[in-house]
Structure 1
Amino acid sequence: MLIRRHLLGLLAGLALLGGCATAPSPSLSEAPPIVFVHGNGDSAALWLTTLWRFESNGWPRERLYAIELPYPLARDDDSKSQPGRSSTAEHMAFLKAEVEKVLRATGAQQVVLFGNSRGGNAIRHYIQNGGGVATVSHAILGGTPNHGVWAIPGFREGNEFSGTGPFLTGLNAPKNANGDEVTGPVRWLTLRSDNNDKFAQPDGLWIGAKGKPTNVTYAGPELKGATNIVIPRIDHRETSFSPAAFAAAYSFITGRATLVRDIVPESRIELGGVITGQGVDPLNPATGNFANNLPIAGAELTIYATDAATGQRTGAAAYTRKVGADGRWGPFTAQAGTAYEFEIQAPGYATTHIYRSAFPRSSSIVNLRPERIAAADQDAQALAIFTRPRGYFDAQRDQMRFDGQTALPGVPPAGAGVSSAKLKLPSAADRAIAAEFNGEKLVGRVWPAAQQRVTVLELTY
């Protein structure tokens, strides 16, 4: 009944706001700066389509900021230092510094904060304990495990995702006589799935404990005192990066419905970003690679226009760059309607061929990360990876195909918790390899693993 009430409330609200659909888009002075905070192990690049949707509804590009935490993974125990990972205190301090930069750059008095998953932990920590109550007008949390990924007394309570640990119990302590869990006068919105968020599950399947109760419900991301919206069947990442999540966030900030639901193409498209790497887990160096957002100085990027039907390069390189210490590349002027291959070469990594759909708009957060070939894959003739950064694959919900297969390797028959699939191909013969997801189709080429080359088909939507 709670789920139905929340959903009906959202639909009714959007219907009432529909009469404002012809209202003018916010001006530079009216549109508050929005700071987007990515999740655990992720990067600023995941906000790509969300930024495009805000821009398509008139939000000035210079008022949209997607920050990037250098070490995005949480510590196993928040109180103990761990190489390549960040504590809640470090995460909050980074966010605080970034907000202060945005306020100085824009002259605004307050910002809106929009966080996905772990990003919401930093937002709550900053507002409650770091002075953000004065600098934040609205806080939007997509899929944040506000009551933990697990809430088991005595089990990993030092971890920031423990619902019975000191970090979350401190954030969730009642703030007033009503028992509100949010800090005022900031306005709060939570966005969650009805039952398809891998980190809001009563069973411990997605934390490696199938059959063990987590003591967390599907409503775990909700907060007392916030506006809590439920969107059916979305997965953990889609709580922030889906069109429905954008529409709810836009309406919450502006008080009116979106002017357009689709991404509006631009006539001139300029792309840029950062090439970042992977750390090596000192406890498991053979297979324990993990994400960081540190630049790879000296990495070489070559961009080719491709035939969308075959993945073949259609001419000479359209752009080449050896990046400096900051890892940054661009600007590259892309052609509307053209699919591209991004070839990355960097010491210690396989030459990675990333195939992307045509870009409809400009972006400075087209961040790229080369792959390593794991020891278990050294016997492959060729490797191809199909990845969806802004969501997961759901065999019951999505229409998918990878090199002719409808059952993606590693994707379970039920539930949304896997965002990439990998094929170990028996032949390295040059040919097209295709992948499809709910209407978005990617085509790349097969490259020999013996030459330390990997194919990546990366979805945009």
Structure 2
Amino acid sequence: MLLLAPSLFLSGCGGGSSDATAPGVEAGALSDSLPIVFVHGAAGSAAQIQAQSMRYVANGVPPEKIHTFEYDAGVEGIAMAAGGQLLLPLYEFIQDVTAQHDVDQVYLIGHSLGTIVSTEYLSSGFATTPLPVPAPANLVAGFVSIDGAVSPVCPGLVPCIGIFDGQSNVGMGQNNTYIENQAHVEVATSPESFEAQYAFFYGERPAIVDIELQGLEVSVSGRTVTFPQNTGRPDAELAIWPIDSATGHRMADTPTATMVPDADGFWGPVTLRTDTHYEFLLTASDSVPHHFYMPRFVRDTEHVRLLSGPNDSDTRSNTNLGDAHAAVVISRMREWFGDHATAGNDIVEISTRSPSVGDQPVVNAITPEVGNDTIGIHIHDDAATPQQTTLEPLPYFPDQAFQTGVDVYMPAAEPPDGTITMRLIPRGRSEFSQTINFPNWASSGHRVSINFNDFDRME
């Protein structure tokens, strides 16, 4: 058993590189390594491997060798997974990956429900044709099971490792890592988790763990999806606008890039600057414009996920909408800690500058009521207390998996006349703060999502 504490055994690179492989690591050092297949959990997507993918690539794994098996992560998909209906799709997916790279096996990583799907797959013995085909377990050289299925032996007798939060007393096989002061999602995305994964796959500690600046320009691609079904958005168009970091308003008359995602939602790649913030504007026939904002990109990534949905989605139907206030969803692939006994709590400072209404004071949206197990926080003016910030939980959202809601009044206008500022201080450590400014869009005609990084770095 290995017990890790955050900040232990961290190493990083200094400076940038025009290549995705970090300085100090030979380019293509792991070019012959087996491809990696990641299987996310309930309410999940490829976003849970975005940071880890950057770390793998920085250590020499070719980016094209990192794959995600994405599926319906909502109620219907969970039922399908529990009923074993994802076994054949996963088998065919892994077969496609092995054929693409001309190899016989892959490394498999499962998180949460994805460990159940993976374990069922590895333990099964089905064949898809009357002809002899490889047994599912024979296609996997090693299995990383993250905070999910438990078993005293590795499924399918495939070499395995379990990674769990430090409060767990269960395991997967006999080789397990427990990470203190981390919760269910963070144990999949953290640097400590990456160290354990890498050491298991490659037999040594990674040379690079910290995510550092790659260069002045990076390649960015991803998917626009209807969430949680993880299906492509019909009739969607995507425009990427450079914005003023201080105000969040657009700096150009035309976007940096426009594109039409394919039927599965895939878009890109597009070259973006690492010294510039961007607005990702998603428009679709079944929804009001959806604006996405995030910190500056620091490395190439193929795993950006823009999670959206139609106007009649449960999220929008349960959001208090209006012409005079904004509604925002903030997310991070790392739990928000609002009342943790041993780790530092997160702080998200929110303020609004609006010439027409007046400025709103800074408030911290991460209250003890947020708890320690949410990923997405819905923030808007509660209909019960209009134009007041109470920081009380909003209705509906606290009852949804990995979500909550907080009452914050952010005055808005159409068109926007001011700026909303959100400053994240992760685990109370101001040296790693992330600040995002964006226009005060009126919630009646706009959706806004803020995707904070799940990794810490000094800007």
Q: Which stretches in structure 1 are left out of the alignment for 5+ residues?
A: 16-20, 79-84, 148-171, 173-179, 196-217, 279-290
**Matching of residues 348-427 of structure 1 within 5 Å:** 348-370=286-308, 372=311, 373-379=316-322, 381-395=324-338, 396=340, 397-404=344-351, 407-408=364-365, 412=369, 414-424=371-381, 425=409, 427=411
Can you list the C-alpha shifts for 1:31-78, whole angstroms capped at 9, x where unaligned? 111111111121123211110010011111122112211x12355994
Q: Distance in 2 between matches of 1:326 and 1:60?
A: 23
Query: What's the counterpart of residue 332 of structure 1?
Result: 270
Amino acid at match of 1:89: G
Q: Distance in 1 between matches of 2:147 and 2:363?
A: 28
Query: What's the counterpart of residue 259 of structure 1?
Result: 207
Q: Distance in 1 between matches of 2:6 and 2:345?
A: 24
**Matching of residues 286-301 of structure 1 within 5 Å:** 291-301=228-238
Query: What's the counterpart of residue 140 of structure 1?
Result: 144
Q: Distance in 1 between matches of 2:410 and 2:437?
A: 19
Deviation at 1:234, TM superposition (A): 0.8
Can you list the C-alpha shifts for 1:430-459, whole angstroms capped at 9, x where unaligned? 322122332222221210123x20222111
Q: Deviation above 6 Å: which 4+ runs of structure 1? A: 8-15
**Matching of residues 15-34 of structure 1 within 5 Å:** 27-28=29-30, 30-34=32-36
Judging changes above 3 Å, is the alpha-carbon distance between structure 1 residues 353 and 104 closer, same or farther for their aligned structure 2 residues? Answer: same
Q: Distance in 2 between matches of 1:323 and 1:184?
A: 38
**What's the RMSD between the two structures over aligned residues?**
2.9
**8 Å CA contact retained: 1:14, 1:257:** no
Q: Distance in 2 between matches of 1:12 and 1:435?
A: 29
**Matching of residues 171-250 of structure 1 within 5 Å:** 172=151, 180-183=152-155, 185-195=157-167, 218-220=168-170, 222-223=171-172, 225-250=173-198
Q: Distance in 1 between matches of 2:264 and 2:188?
A: 28
Query: What's the counterpart of residue 74 of structure 2?
Result: 73
Judging changes above 3 Å, is the alpha-carbon distance between structure 1 residues 228 and 264 closer, same or farther for their aligned structure 2 residues? Answer: same
Say whether 1:445 aligns with 2:439: yes
**8 Å CA contact retained: 2:25, 2:60:** no
Amino acid at match of 2:372: G
Query: What's the counterpart of residue 49 of structure 2?
Result: 47
Judging changes above 3 Å, is the alpha-carbon distance between structure 1 residues 191 and 8 closer, same or farther for their aligned structure 2 residues? Answer: closer
Query: What's the counterpart of residue 430 of structure 2?
Result: none
Deviation at 1:276, TM superposition (A): 1.3
Q: Distance in 2 between matches of 1:229 and 1:300?
A: 43
Deviation at 1:257, TM superposition (A): 1.0
**8 Å CA contact retained: 2:4, 2:179:** no
**8 Å CA contact retained: 2:336, 2:370:** no
Query: What's the counterpart of residue 2 of structure 2?
Result: 6
Deviation at 1:9, TM superposition (A): 11
Deviation at 1:231, TM superposition (A): 0.5
**8 Å CA contact retained: 2:324, 2:442:** yes
Judging changes above 3 Å, is the alpha-carbon distance between structure 1 residues 335 and 418 closer, same or farther for their aligned structure 2 residues? Answer: closer
Q: Distance in 2 between matches of 1:310 and 1:121?
A: 45
> 214, 219, 235: which one pairs with 1:270?
219
What is the percentage of aligned positions where both structures have the same residue?
Answer: 22
2:335 aligns to what SS in structure 1?
coil
**8 Å CA contact retained: 1:444, 1:455:** no
**8 Å CA contact retained: 1:306, 1:341:** yes
1:334 aligns to what SS in structure 2?
strand
Report the more deviating stretch, 245-254 or 324-333.
324-333
TM-score, scaled to structure 1: 0.74
More strand per residue: 2
Q: Distance in 2 between matches of 1:28 and 1:192?
A: 27
Deviation at 1:298, TM superposition (A): 1.3
Q: Distance in 1 between matches of 2:286 and 2:64?
A: 36
Q: Distance in 1 between matches of 2:375 and 2:9?
A: 33
Q: Distance in 1 between matches of 2:78 and 2:51?
A: 33
Query: What's the counterpart of residue 60 of structure 1?
Result: 62
Q: Distance in 2 between matches of 1:419 and 1:113?
A: 27
Deviation at 1:143, TM superposition (A): 1.5
Structure number with higher relative contact order (C-alpha < 8 Å, ≥ 6 residues apart): 2
**8 Å CA contact retained: 1:409, 1:421:** no
Amino acid at match of 1:432: T
Query: What's the counterpart of residue 108 of structure 1?
Result: 103
Report the more deviating stretch, 298-307 or 22-31.
22-31
Deviation at 1:365, TM superposition (A): 2.4
**How many correspondences in the alignment?**
376
Q: Distance in 1 between matches of 2:8 and 2:347?
A: 32
Judging changes above 3 Å, is the alpha-carbon distance between structure 1 residues 406 and 188 closer, same or farther for their aligned structure 2 residues? Answer: farther
1:367 aligns to what SS in structure 2?
strand
Query: What's the counterpart of residue 433 of structure 1?
Result: 420
TM-score, scaled to structure 2: 0.74
Judging changes above 3 Å, is the alpha-carbon distance between structure 1 residues 332 and 423 closer, same or farther for their aligned structure 2 residues? Answer: same
Judging changes above 3 Å, is the alpha-carbon distance between structure 1 residues 378 and 423 closer, same or farther for their aligned structure 2 residues? Answer: closer
2:187 aligns to what SS in structure 1?
helix
Can you list the C-alpha shifts for 1:214-249, whole angstroms capped at 9, x where unaligned? xxxx324x22x3311110111111111111111111
